């Protein structure tokens, strides 16, 4: 009698769930080993040829990354696509490129070998310094260098070449440029040894709505090609060789979550209003016209943040006034009469233009970025302001200045806006003379002086991603300090409270457009603190709307009162969880 084949024992691993969803499929192991480089030595008369090869590879790599960005923005919005801006920074870093050229000349070595040696040297140096931002750039340099070497060697990236049907990707790590190419028609989910909730890979997984777990330590060693795998991206649980019972149980969990999500879809035409009648505006964050359909589909009441810089990124030149006017006019028309808030160029930090050499700095997050850059180049800033004004005829556009740090910046920006209005008046070009102007509060200095700034604007919008980062001195995409990035930190909540109170004291409405707004656990807290508008990614609108509609304003106010007396962010979260468990327990399944 033949022996019965032994069934593999299930293996349960715990990591960090960074993108929700329960899926089951077969493992597809991805290795990112660098291609072997041969024939490193060159003759002296080949040096210029090798430098030309390097420059050609830079052009091709830049073209590929911009293409990936454009494709990703169309599929997942601009939030995920912005992650690859850091890769363009590396490609435009002439100091890095000149080091490679010096290596080619000095050691008479080919471009591939010089690139590998220089990138390894940069990696070692950056990883050894005590600057978290520079240490984080190691991963970007590795990713870009890998792609550059492939282009130098004339080889296409074959990482996913064997993927002929839907699989669960398993890897030690997935660089952003690889994650950006994943598609839901061929990838069920992914799991990695490394990573954190704030890593570039995690950001992209959420943008693509692909269930994902990171920080599993050794899943790439434990799983084998073709193994059946179950991942729960909500809880961070991965099971290799799940039993029939486990598959059944998690299948029911997945069905339950899908039912909840279908229920949320029915809220599209409902108002974001608490059970006792407190009404807030629920808007969407977008970066291009392709996302407008999603704004309407998910039931947002307009656009609370239009990231205007994404029309500029990856172009060879600045958009002129006519091109910008056409863009903003289309945006206003597509959503009228719903309001649309256009954030003026937020360039610098982790976002750059392909053609702007003036944004390359040692520490760009603390450098000449956003409103600082606009005020340094008023001729470019005025082009954008004039374009917004010209597109404002429908009276649903608003202007918002990013990264305001002091009253002087608002005053100067308003002076330039007044100049633009005077010019258009002389030219007899129609525009909305009373267009609303607001300030983004994302630096502690702005929050602490909000009372003064309020006298010069019509609204505030709290950009909590940067507010948390600057308040706690934590790079939000640095895996080493991710545990310190705490939106519920008492210091952050105090700055939010001060901003809301200052705004209301001056009869301004106050919105919030950071990641905090998209977390239903925090929706009720922000509501209780008195925020008037929440702006989130279009896909997050239904769950945030449901959270608002499940609670009373008095319950939210009590939560806020308690939270503002807490001594730690963990304590605040515990109170938030207690309230949502009481009024909307099923939302915890999706969070």
DSSP structure class, residue 473: T
- Distance, in Å, from the CA atom of 438 to the CA atom of 453, rounded to the nearest integer, reads 10
The one catalytic residue in 200, 298, 489, 575 is 200
- Here the tokens at position 213 are 């777990």
Residue 177 and residue 195 in contact, taking contact as beta carbons nearer than 8 Å: no
HEC string of 78-138? HHHHHHHHHHHHHHCCHHHHHHHHHHHHHHCECHHHHHHHHHHHHHHHHHHCCCHHHHHHH
The one catalytic residue in 87, 298, 432, 513 is 513
Note if 566 is an active site residue.
no
Note if 167 is an active site residue.
no
- Distance, in Å, from the CA atom of 365 to the CA atom of 380, rounded to the nearest integer, reads 21
- In order, the DSSP letters of 29-70 are EE--PPPP----B--GGGHHHHHHHHHHHHHHHHHHHHHHHH
- Here the tokens at position 52 are 């030309």
- Residues forming a β-bridge with 170: 29, 191
Helix (H) or strand (E) holding 454: none
Please work out, in degrees rounded to the nearest 5, the angle formed at the alpha carbon of residue 406 by the alpha carbons of 403 and 409.
Answer: 75
Place of tokens 């407190």: 278
DSSP structure class, residue 338: S
- Distance, in Å, from the CA atom of 528 to the CA atom of 562, rounded to the nearest integer, reads 10
Name the nearest CA neighbour of 39 among 173, 209, 153.
153
* CA distances, 359 to each of 248, 344, 382 (Å): 53, 16, 19
* Alpha helices for 182-242 (secondary structure H): 200-208, 219-222
HEC string of 64-81? HHHHHHHHHHHHHCHHHH
Cis peptide before 337 (omega within 30 of 0): yes
Q: Return the active site residues.
A: 200, 513
């Amino acid at each position: 009698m033949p022996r019965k084949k032994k069934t593999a024992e299930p293996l349960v691993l715990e990591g960090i769930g960074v993108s929700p969803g329960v899926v089951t499929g077969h493992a597809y192991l991805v290795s990112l080993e660098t291609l072997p480089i041969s024939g490193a030595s060159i003759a002296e008369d080949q040096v210029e040829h090798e430098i030309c090869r390097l420059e050609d590879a830079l052009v091709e790599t830049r073209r590929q990354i911009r293409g990936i960005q454009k494709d990703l923005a169309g599929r997942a919005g601009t939030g995920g696509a912005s992650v690859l801006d850091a890769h363009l920074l590396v490609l435009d870093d002439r100091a890095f490129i000149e080091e490679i050229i010096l290596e080619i000349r000095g050691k008479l070595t080919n471009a591939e070998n010089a690139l590998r040696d220089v990138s390894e040297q940069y990696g070692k140096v950056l990883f050894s310094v005590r600057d978290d931002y520079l240490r984080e750039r190691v991963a970007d340099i590795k990713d870009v260098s890998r792609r550059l070497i492939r282009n130098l060697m004339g080889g296409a990236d074959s990482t996913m070449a064997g993927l002929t049907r839907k699989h669960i990707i398993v890897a030690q790590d997935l660089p952003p440029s690889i994650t950006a190419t994943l598609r839901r028609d061929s990838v069920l989910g992914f799991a990695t040894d490394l990573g954190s909730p704030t890593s570039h890979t995690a950001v992209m997984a959420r943008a693509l709505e692909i269930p994902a777990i990171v920080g599993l330590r050794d899943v790439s060693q434990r799983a084998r090609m073709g193994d059946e795998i179950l991942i729960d991206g909500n809880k961070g649980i991965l099971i290799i060789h799940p039993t029939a019972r486990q598959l059944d149980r998690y299948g029911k969990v997945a069905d339950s979550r899908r039912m909840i999500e279908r229920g949320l879809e029915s809220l599209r035409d409902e108002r974001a209003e608490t059970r006792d009648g407190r009404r807030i505006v629920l808007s969407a964050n977008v970066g291009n016209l392709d996302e407008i359909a999603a704004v309407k589909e998910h039931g947002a009441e307009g656009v609370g943040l239009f990231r205007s810089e994404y029309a500029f990124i990856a172009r060879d030149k600045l958009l002129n006034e006519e091109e910008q006017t056409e863009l903003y006019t289309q945006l206003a028309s597509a959503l009228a009469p719903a309001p649309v808030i256009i954030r003026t160029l937020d360039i610098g930090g982790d976002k750059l233009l392909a053609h702007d050499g003036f944004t390359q700095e040692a520490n760009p997050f603390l450098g000449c970025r956003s409103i600082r850059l606009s005020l340094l180049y008023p001729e470019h800033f005025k082009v954008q302001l004039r374009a917004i004004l010209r597109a404002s005829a429908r009276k649903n556009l608003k202007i918002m200045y990013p990264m305001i740090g002091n009253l002087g910046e608002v005053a100067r920006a308003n002076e330039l806006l007044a100049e633009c209005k005077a010019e258009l008046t002389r030219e007899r070009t129609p525009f909305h003379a009373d267009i609303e102007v607001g300030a983004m509060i994302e630096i502690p200095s702005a929050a602490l002086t909000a009372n003064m700034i309020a006298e010069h604007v019509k609204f505030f919008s709290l950009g909590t991603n940067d507010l948390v980062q600057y308040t706690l001195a934590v790079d939000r995409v640095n895996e080493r300090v991710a545990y310190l990035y705490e939106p519920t930190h008492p210091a952050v909540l105090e700055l939010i409270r001060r901003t809301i109170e200052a705004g209301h004291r001056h009869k301004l409405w106050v919105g919030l457009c950071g990641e905090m707004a998209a977390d239903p656990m925090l929706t009720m807290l922000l509501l209780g603190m008195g925020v008037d508008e929440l702006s989130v990614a279009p896909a997050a609108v239904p769950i945030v709307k449901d959270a608002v509609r499940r609670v009373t304003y008095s319950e939210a106010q009590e939560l806020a009162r308690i939270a503002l007396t807490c001594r730690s962010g963990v304590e605040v979260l515990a109170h938030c969880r207690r309230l949502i468990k009481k009024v909307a327990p099923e939302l915890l399944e999706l969070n």
